[in-house]
Chains A and B, each alone.
Chain A
Amino acid sequence: MSVRPWLSPGALRPGTRATLTALSWLTSPLTPDDYLGLIDPLWSARHPAGRVSAVRREAPGAATLVIRPGRGWNGHRAGQYLPLGVEIDGVRHWRTYSITSPPGRSPGGGPGGEITVTVKARRDGRVSPHLVHRTAPGSVLRLGPAQGEFVLPRPLPGRLLFVTAGSGVTPVVGMLRTLARHGGAAPDTLLLHSAPSPDECLFHAELAALESRLPWLSVRLTYTRTEGRLTTERIGELCPDWHRRETWACGPSGLLDMAEGHWAAAGVREQLRVERFHLAPVRAPRADAVGGRVRFDRSAVEADAAAASPLLAVGESAGVPMPHGCRRGLCFGCLVPLLDGRVRDLRNGELRGEPGELIQTCVNGAAGPLVLDL
């Protein structure tokens, strides 16, 4: 139940915009989209959707979904990620995945074409196994607007370095495909990627093919099961001029922390862009979790929350202006987006929390550390 995806203004081409504005006076307070979306969800710009046109197996437990976006799709830049709304047992879950396809163009010149995301099924996950194993062509998924600043700048710098591990390679594959599509000259590019083994290396064949076809691209793979993790020394060996390259790093936080420290120590931190994957739902708190530290992100306030304290009370005593209403879980006047972590419903002990989910602060307490968008 993420709020961010649905704050999308939606895409409206100027020509249709005037017609739809006129029609919206007739459908008020709904929009013409609300009626069009009943006929085909892809016709709704207010609640953008896409239809899965193919599912390709990539590796054991990983698949690429090819999605044909509908009218509401605003396009993306290489390296951005996409919030996908997936309905499971009636409930729509929102997860973000990196887009691996180059930015498309519809015949009319607007954003269009197919988009691809590559999803790895997490063993303890709910959404990713559904996407990988139980999503057939023809399924409809809701789309949020493409997000993220982990993108290639314009103009392109002279030399690029990508440092990735595991599924952190997905946004970089989107960038490489975009660079490759333009053909001709591209910056001198080096990809240092780690995977457990060749079998479990996403895009293994494609990376090899790209490297042999493109004179400006080098790919150096590290197999962690046999060679161990990528170290700062190994980065220096594989890429002696690493400190003179614009660098993009994406992967587990261990890798990113290492990179940030290493680049900062060399005084070139500003050349490094990192993308952290938020994997909040897999951190299931212990059954006996006793509260936790709450960060109110926009207010820049932190406070310790006891397990039995409603987050509303925690925020108010920390001086954060909290939206509130009935204080009994009735009126939904205290909804706040949860950015990270889990909460416990104080009425029945139920645990919940997905990034972006709106939670009632008056009846939920902290179950471990969490971040609120307030």
Chain B
Amino acid sequence: MPTAAAAGADGTPPPVASHADRAEQLGRELDRLRDEIVAARGPDDARYIRTVIAVQRGCEAGGRLALAVSLFPPAWAAGTALLAVAKTLENMELGHNILHGQWDWLGDPAVHSTTWEWDFAAPADAWKRTHNHLHHTYTNVVGRDRDLGYTILRMSPDQPWRPAHLLQPLYTALLAPVFEWGIALYDLEAEAVAQGRKSVRAFVRDASGVTRKAVRQAAKDYVLFPLLAGPSALPCLLGTLTANGARNIWAHTVIFCGHFPGDVQTFTEDQLDGETRGEWYLRQIQGSANIEGGPLLHLLTGNLSHQIEHHLFPDLPSNRYAQMAPRVREICDRYGLPYVTGPLWRQYASMWSRVLRHALP
């Protein structure tokens, strides 16, 4: 990654130390920050995650109850809003982060990466492989990180252009409201079967896992709860659809803003050869983007608004990212590294301009 290390932010000439030395020095600084947070984890963090869990379940129960009587319009509005909040918290601050192993240190089987299952079409196990393993190891490496365009979008000039990419603004927009179903299909890695990297047997096993999960998810949201709502069945169904759609659009927005705003870099497979821990850190910084905002925004994004910190330390508790962010930013400044951040609207616009730009050859 010589580009970023070659010149300081203000265009000053590169320091005398070699790229490799500076990357190692950077790695040691970030490791020290990591150790500091690991040592500081304690009862307050435990209380934080348990509070979020309780709030999420409260919102979910309240939302379902309100939607059961949603012929009454204020109940529809309240129920839909509560359910959307519950689903968002469950997906991002709880599911995503717990499945990362961020809370394994609690030793609590109820909040653990090996036992948690989430309210999302993709089964936790399949998602942990494509996300925790493939995406977080090969972040933004063209040809290795399948999250770079999710196998259907072209997000970098290094990806070969195909005529189908002309339609990518359309299918990016269509993907957003059904994002969880897109992820469930994506996690099956059908293209890996075609390329011989995955056996047909494994594909069938994974596909039946997704089907089982998807049936339960759809039955609960779109059949059982509406039936229980009796005369309110239709508004209940529409409220649930709205809540799921809102959660999906929100998750899509946050995730696309985390890696695709304009200044975020992509990498080639050559750069993986002999990559050191310091260079891996460097790639995570250059391949991620933050969203600026208040504590509520951070909570509702599952702290993925601190995408840079998350990519540097995917297994540290999410509630600590806000505390780490100024430190990481200061380190980036000192090393002349980009720290891509901005308000949601700007990151969102920038992400879209990239989708549009790469639709063309």
- Partner-B contacts on A (CB < 8 A): 1-3, 5-6, 25-26, 28-30, 34-35, 37-38, 46-47, 85, 87, 89-94, 142, 325-326, 328-333, 335, 347-348, 350, 357-358
Contacts and interface: CB of A to CB of B under 8 A. Distances in A.
Contact of B119 (A29, A92, A350, A357): A29
Contacts of A87: 46
Given A28-B216, A330-B314, A348 B38 contact: yes
Contact of B217 (A28, A34, A329, A330): A28
Given A328-B137, A328-B280, A348-B31, A47 B42 contact: no
A6 B109 contact: yes
B258 to A, nearest CB: 16
Nearest to A352: B105
Contact of B107 (A1, A37, A331, A333): A1
Contacts of A38: 53-54, 57
B250 interface: no
Interface residues of B: mostly helix, strand, loop or mixed? helix
Contact of B101 (A6, A37, A332): A332
A162 B35 CA distance: 49
Interface residues of B, number: 50
Which among B34, B107, B113, B220 has the highest number of chain A CB atoms within 10 Å? B107
Contacts, number: 113
Given A29-B119, A333-B129, A47 B41 contact: no
Contact of A94 (B43, B107, B129, B213): B107
B200 interface: no
A85 B61 CA distance: 28
A231 B34 CA distance: 54
Nearest to B118: A29
A26 B220 contact: yes
B250 to A, nearest CB: 20
A90 B129 contact: no
A90 B54 contact: no
Contacts of B220: 25-26, 28
B104 A358 contact: yes
A329 B128 CA distance: 13
A83 to B, nearest CB: 11
Given A87-B46, A89-B43, A91-B46, 20 more contacts: A6-B109, A6-B112, A25-B216, A26-B220, A29-B117, A29-B119, A29-B216, A29-B217, A35-B57, A38-B54, A90-B44, A94-B107, A325-B133, A328-B277, A330-B136, A331-B128, A332-B113, A332-B128, A347-B34, A348-B34
A48 B195 CA distance: 46
11 contacts: A6-B115, A29-B118, A38-B53, A46-B110, A91-B105, A328-B137, A330-B137, A333-B129, A333-B132, A335-B114, A348-B34
